[in-house]
Structure 1
């Protein structure tokens, strides 16, 4: 018997003499994920996307209208999505231009107590994720609002009405400011009452530091307004430019990356003017597909960056690859 064989046999006998050992998973489940933020360079700017959490809408047929019976479920299944429940993301953008720190939309927040959880407990995380990304809300110079719905402006103040962004101005269209602070508009769908009460509380805290957004004009250097009404009377999207680079923050132009892209003329239950909203959506999507524009969608899958391209009678969503050289 050679030395190698003898050594192997000896090792085998020794192993057989050892007691059996079974690993035990003694550590408890953590029960929470990592903070949700993603940072990247955009031209000369630094951009950070922070999540306000997911926003579950419930049964898709209740929110998206215009489809034939069963059409929505079939379309969602074909994309490996739950046909019984539509869930949106909430991707807020923080743009550091080197001169200003600009926040686009604020998420749901907790300013309205129980009403702040009308879509469930998974919203209202933007401020915590902002801090996790190393950004103090007091550093924000300008909050740019796409519109004055709850999931876009209710974190302007806290539950006591104090400004969450004490050094910021707030940019919003005059049309949305007037509409969503007018008690006379508390009619129609039941959500109109809390939506208006919440907008009044949050926007009124900044009335002495408002900037009125105007279509086609710069809100601040590098950020230009593009009117896209219908979801609200003053709904606005924003072109962000740095050198030859352009990215459009689309707000609520389209809420779902499948349903309202494949069928842009379908309508959405929370639109102030659903038909006008569909027209705005169709017109802008055609432009973005033609120009191959980089988009950041507030409600599309995290982190909301990508492109649209023609697909059948509508459009397809093509997420941008997460850049391994990014700063996040």
Structure 2
């Protein structure tokens, strides 16, 4: 039997290396195919004083620039390109906010629902489970307004039953009055008509609490008037001790356009002058007070600060915190 000692093994190894160096280079062969699938964020959690905030993603939407900015679409595409964003279609995140006060679990807006609009949305329930909660845990759902991407997630695909069995639903009385009116279809643009349904509102009505635009919903969570995007659009102020934050609703929708040109009308704004006034007032307040801001449609998880730059503003995303 041939016995190989250490010296022979080393000589054999050296010879193999030398032979390999002289051999023709073979084409590289991938050992595994590229995965192709993108990582999907599910939730992001942090503390605001004693309140726990969890951003729960419902997914994303995408619209042509023309839909979002109308006559300003060409200008918007240029601005998006200059800020290294795709010029069209334009992506909008759907960032629902779960507020745990210690006594109540309050979900702010409810996303699109599964397979009700675009396939990239509808992830709320799965991501809520990933965050450690079930629909039955939610005590309250507060709506900033009643557009489809904030309301439709409360019900099943057929709009036949509610998905949150214990939740109280809370909305501005002016918003509910508008969308409940029989003649509402005559008051919205043709583009909006397919995106509004009264079925979800009717389902919610037995558990629906109406509030004024400025109201305390639970201790530490108050609303304030930002009408214009819709007749009863509200934004949210959350406070705990010395810490506070503002939630936009749809006051802003893009990290470049909404801040560098807040005067440009947004395609889904129903009262453009009033929506512009509300947007400017919100941004002025956030910049002056240096308050943390959470956005429903900016890139996940949608938190940052607003700074003033001349007659415009700039969005500064908050650093991702790996521990809550």
TM exceeding 0.5: yes
Instruction: State the 1:273 CA deviation.
Output: 0.5
Q: 1:96 to 1:230 in 2, by over 3 A?
A: same
Partner residue in 1 for 2:236: 238
Aligned match of 1:258:
256
Q: How many angstroms does 1:254 deviate by? A: 1.1
Normalising by structure 1, report the TM-score. Answer: 0.87
Distance in 2 between residues matched to 1:158 and 1:186, nearest whole Å: 23
The match for 2:49 is: 43
Residue aligning to 1:189: 189
Residues 105-152 of structure 1 deviation map (CA, whole Å, 9 limit, x = unaligned): 000003xx6xx22xx321111111111222101100000100000000
Q: What residue number does 1:77 align with? A: 81
Name the counterpart of 1:25.
Answer: 31
- 1:288 aligned to 286, 289, 292, which one? 286
Distance 2:238 2:47 in 1: 13
Evaluate the alpha carbon distance shift between residue 21 and residue 310 of structure 1 in structure 2; reply closer, same or farther with a 3 A threshold: closer
Give how far 1:169 is off: 0.2
Mapped partners of 2:196, 2:30: distance in 1: 54
Long gaps (5+) in structure 1: none
Deviation at 1:80, TM superposition (A): 0.4
Q: Which residue of 1 aligns with 2:130?
A: 132
Quote the offset at 1:10 in angstroms. 5.0
Q: 1:16-165 alignment to 2 at 5 Å?
A: 24-26=30-32, 29=35, 31=37, 33-58=39-64, 60-65=65-70, 67=72, 70-110=74-114, 116-117=116-117, 120-160=118-158, 161-165=160-164
The answer to whether residue 266 in structure 2 is matched with residue 268 in structure 1 is yes
> Which residue does the alignment assign to 1:229?
227
Paired residues in the alignment total 313
TM-score w.r.t. the length of structure 2 is: 0.88
Give CA deviations for 1:6-39 in whole Å, capped at 9, x if unaligned. Answer: 9865531255679999765346737353452111
Q: Distance in 2 between matches of 1:21 and 1:254?
A: 51
- Counterpart pick for 2:218 among 217, 220, 224: 220
> Please, what is the CA RMSD of the aligned residues?
2.6
- 1:272 Cα deviation from its structure 2 partner: 1.4
SS in 1 for 2:136: helix
Deviation at 1:249, TM superposition (A): 1.0
Tell me: CA distance 1:257–1:201, structure 2 relative to 1, closer, same or farther (3 Å). same
Q: Give the unaligned 5+ runs of structure 2.
A: 1-5
Alpha-carbon distance change, 260 to 137 in structure 1, aligned in 2, over 3 angstroms = same
Distance in 2, matches of 1:282 and 1:51, equals 27
Report the structure number with the largest CA radius of gyration.
2
Write the distance in 2 (CA, Å) between the matches of 1:232 and 1:96. Answer: 27
Secondary structure of 1:306's counterpart equals strand
The answer to whether the 8 Å contact 2:128/2:134 transfers is yes
Deviation at 1:165, TM superposition (A): 0.6
SS in 1 for 2:315: strand
Partners of 2:196 and 2:104 lie apart in 1 by: 30
Secondary structure of 2:285 counterpart: helix
Other-structure match for 2:171 = 172
Matching residue within 9, 12, 15 for 1:13: 15
